[in-house]
């Protein structure tokens, strides 16, 4: 996900807490009726639940603007109570039993389903669930740890086309100028990427990529340029399949949309901001969102404290795609820009990447730590273990957690297994501790002095060159002050980190 220029939010309230502790949603089936005469939607949610313990209640997250009128199981009424943030069902469930509940509701979405007009003045409907906004229009367990397959059965005015995750299994015209569309996603998803897009679209099917259907959905006014620009997906997708692993979904649709984000990685139906067509940064944006299909969608962070497993991964995979496509200088340029942002960020923030005590709502986690610093950690890990083992670890991590949830320790264990290296110190200082090294380098006589000016020393390899000598010297730094003897004939300026491999604020005194 990348921010839109329209998003100027400091954070949301904390949102619903993880619900359904003694239960696991197995599948969702959402029937939604949309209208042009009102923003009110009618919904019927089918929710299949496997109970892991004996339970007398089951709670669904649902925004209070969505009014529930009935809950049934097998056609029989189920008692329920609705409050400001959800619906509590009174159930009689034994451990290991499976129940399917039907929830009938109606209301005007406050958020989550963005009913608006696009830049051409045409009405649109776009799901926009991240991080915990699905419950603003869908009864669900609105937390990334509870993944489930999903179906959307959408009834809307016939002038619209409907896109969603998975495969379109049916569509037909209905009386009264309405149209019915049925999408089925069989792969378990977190609620953050379960969406629909309903608008007047121009649609193009591109040649399949490895048997995967590839589609473009753009507003008709942007058809010519949009079809050209979004076709970039055809060269991005193979890079990730080749290097990470199989694509998890039945198709990939890239969709021009109207939401609050610059890009949102909805599984197999990625939404891009309406100004993305013709934008100079579109290739990076698409590479970022397509990378999320592996990291964030297929492998999902178990909690938002570990968001870097989604955003940091997508950011670095974008750099690696650009390196592959345009060369090593592209990678170095991107890393330098990101490092400058991290240095500026650390001057006013003392939070670690994995921040379990973060306050201010999930939106506040969309920061430099989760994106740029998470990406830089992966880059340094790649240099620590080497390219071959890094990619082997990435592939193993994806294969092991595909369709599941992961935490930072999950990733660390995989990389240790692949590399045979104890990475406890690496992850502790770069992920679980705040800040970065503040390095001050100076030469006195024939000695290079390396001082770490921050309170706690880091351990890392420092590379440097001297003057015009092309040789790269490498030394392990782990103390507050390290003195490095230089050859007597040494002349010229010290150039620290010439390969752009160290995340540090480096200053070299003459």
Strand order of the sheet with strand 252-256?
2-3, 261-264, 269-272, 252-256, 212-218, 202-209
As a residue count, the chain comes to 510
Structure confidence at residue 52 (pLDDT) = 94
The rounded distance, in Å, linking the Cα atoms of 189 and 129 is 12
Q: How deeply is 265 buried, as exposed, middle or buried, from its count of CB atoms within 10 A (0-12, 13-18, 19+)?
A: buried
Tokens of 99: 């129940």
Delimit the CATH 2.60.40.1910 region(s) of the chain: 438-508
Residue with tokens 């919904």: 43
Tokens of 61: 């997250």
> Is there a contact between 307 and 370 (Cβ–Cβ < 8 Å)?
yes
Structure confidence at residue 169 (pLDDT) = 98
Delimit the CATH 2.60.40.1730 region(s) of the chain: 2-291
Cα within 13 Å of Cα(188), Cβ side = 16
Q: What is the pTM of this model?
A: 0.94
The rounded distance, in Å, linking the Cα atoms of 16 and 132 is 8
The rounded distance, in Å, linking the Cα atoms of 317 and 244 is 10
The rounded distance, in Å, linking the Cα atoms of 218 and 242 is 28
Structure confidence at residue 21 (pLDDT) = 67
Tokens of 477: 């730094």
The DSSP bridge pattern shows strands 123-127 and 196-199 to be antiparallel
User: CA separation (Å) from 458 to 34, 111, 438, 481?
Assistant: 56, 43, 10, 11
Structure confidence at residue 1 (pLDDT) = 80
What CATH number should be reported for the domain whose range is 300-430?
Answer: 1.10.390.10
| Topology, domain 438-508 | Immunoglobulin-like (2.60.40)
> What are the residues facing 153 on neighbouring strands?
31, 182
User: CA separation (Å) from 496 to 386, 454, 475, 501?
Assistant: 20, 18, 11, 10
Least Cα distance to 109 among 64, 175, 154 occurs for: 64
Least Cα distance to 164 among 182, 146, 139 occurs for: 182
Estimate to the nearest angstrom the gap between the alpha carbon of 262 and the chain centroid.
Answer: 12
Residue with tokens 């397509």: 290
Structure confidence at residue 349 (pLDDT) = 87
Structure confidence at residue 356 (pLDDT) = 83
Delimit the CATH 1.10.390.10 region(s) of the chain: 300-430
> Is there a contact between 193 and 131 (Cβ–Cβ < 8 Å)?
no
pLDDT (tens place) for every residue of the chain, 510 residues total:
875 433 322 333 333 334 446 899 999 999 999 999 999 999 999 999 999 999 999 999 999 999 999 999 999 999 999 999 999 999 999 999 999 999 999 999 999 999 999 999 999 999 999 999 999 999 999 999 999 999 999 999 999 999 999 999 999 999 999 999 999 999 999 999 999 999 999 999 999 999 999 999 999 999 999 999 999 999 999 999 999 999 999 999 999 999 999 999 999 999 999 999 999 999 999 999 999 999 999 999 999 999 999 999 999 999 999 999 999 999 999 999 999 999 999 999 889 999 888 777 889 899 999 999 999 999 999 999 999 999 999 999 999 999 999 999 999 999 999 999 999 999 999 999 999 999 999 988 889 999 999 999 999 999 999 888 888 999 999 999 999 998 877 677 889 999 999 999 999 986
**Peptide bond between residue 295 and the one before it cis (omega within 30 degrees of 0):** no
> Is there a contact between 252 and 215 (Cβ–Cβ < 8 Å)?
yes
CATH class of 2-291: mainly beta
């Amino acid at each position: 996900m990348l921010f839109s220029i329209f998003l100027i939010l400091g954070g949301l309230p904390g949102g619903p807490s993880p619900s359904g502790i003694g239960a696991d949603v197995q599948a969702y089936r959402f029937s939604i009726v949309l209208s042009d005469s009102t923003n009110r939607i009618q919904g019927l949610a089918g929710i299949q639940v496997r109970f892991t313990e004996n339970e007398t209640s089951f709670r669904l997250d649902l925004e209070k603007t969505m009014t529930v009128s009935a809950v049934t199981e097998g056609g029989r009424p189920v008692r329920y109570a609705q409050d400001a943030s959800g619906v509590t069902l009174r159930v009689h469930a034994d451990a290991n039993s499976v129940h399917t509940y039907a929830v009938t509701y109606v209301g005007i979405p406050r958020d989550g389903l963005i009913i608006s007009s696009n830049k051409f003045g045409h009405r649109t409907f776009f799901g926009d669930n991240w991080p915990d906004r699905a419950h603003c229009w869908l009864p669900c367990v609105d937390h990334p740890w509870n993944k489930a397959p999903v179906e959307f059965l959408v009834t809307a005015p016939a002038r619209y086309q409907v896109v969603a995750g998975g495969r379109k299994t049916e569509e037909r015209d209905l009386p009264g100028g309405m149209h019915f569309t049925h999408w089925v996603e069989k792969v378990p998803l977190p609620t953050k990427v379960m969406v629909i897009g309903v608008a007047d679209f121009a649609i193009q099917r591109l040649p399949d990529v490895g048997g995967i259907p590839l589609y473009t959905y753009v507003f008709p006014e942007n058809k010519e340029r949009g079809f050209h620009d979004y076709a970039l997906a055809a060269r991005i997708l193979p890079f990730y399949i080749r290097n990470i692993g199989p694509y998890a979904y039945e198709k990939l649709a890239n969709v021009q949309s109207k939401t609050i984000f610059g890009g949102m990685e909805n599984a197999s139906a990625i939404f891009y901001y309406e100004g993305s067509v013709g934008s100079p940064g579109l290739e990076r944006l698409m590479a970022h969102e397509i990378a999320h299909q592996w990291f964030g969608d297929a492998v999902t962070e178990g909690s938002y404290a570990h968001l870097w497993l989604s955003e940091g991964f997508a950011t670095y995979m974008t750099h690696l795609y650009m390196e592959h496509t345009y060369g090593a200088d592209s990678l170095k340029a991107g890393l330098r820009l990101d490092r400058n942002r991290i240095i500026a960020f650390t001057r006013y923030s003392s939070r670690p990447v994995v921040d379990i005590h973060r306050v201010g709502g999930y939106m506040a986690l969309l920061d430099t730590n989760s994106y740029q610093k998470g990406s830089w950690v992966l880059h340094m890990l790649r240099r620590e273990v080497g390219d071959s083992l890094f990619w082997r670890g990435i592939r193993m991590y994806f294969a092991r957690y595909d369709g599941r949830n992961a935490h930072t320790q999950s990733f660390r264990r995989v990389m240790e297994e692949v590399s045979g290296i104890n990475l406890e110190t690496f992850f502790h200082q770069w992920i679980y501790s705040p800040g970065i090294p503040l390095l001050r380098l100076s030469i006195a006589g024939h000695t290079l002095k390396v001082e770490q000016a921050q309170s706690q020393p880091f351990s890392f390899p420092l590379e440097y060159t001297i003057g015009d000598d092309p040789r790269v010297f490498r030394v392990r730094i782990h103390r507050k002050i390290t003195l490095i003897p230089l050859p007597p004939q040494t002349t010229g300026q010290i150039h620290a980190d010439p390969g752009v491999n160290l995340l540090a604020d480096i200053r070299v005194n003459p």
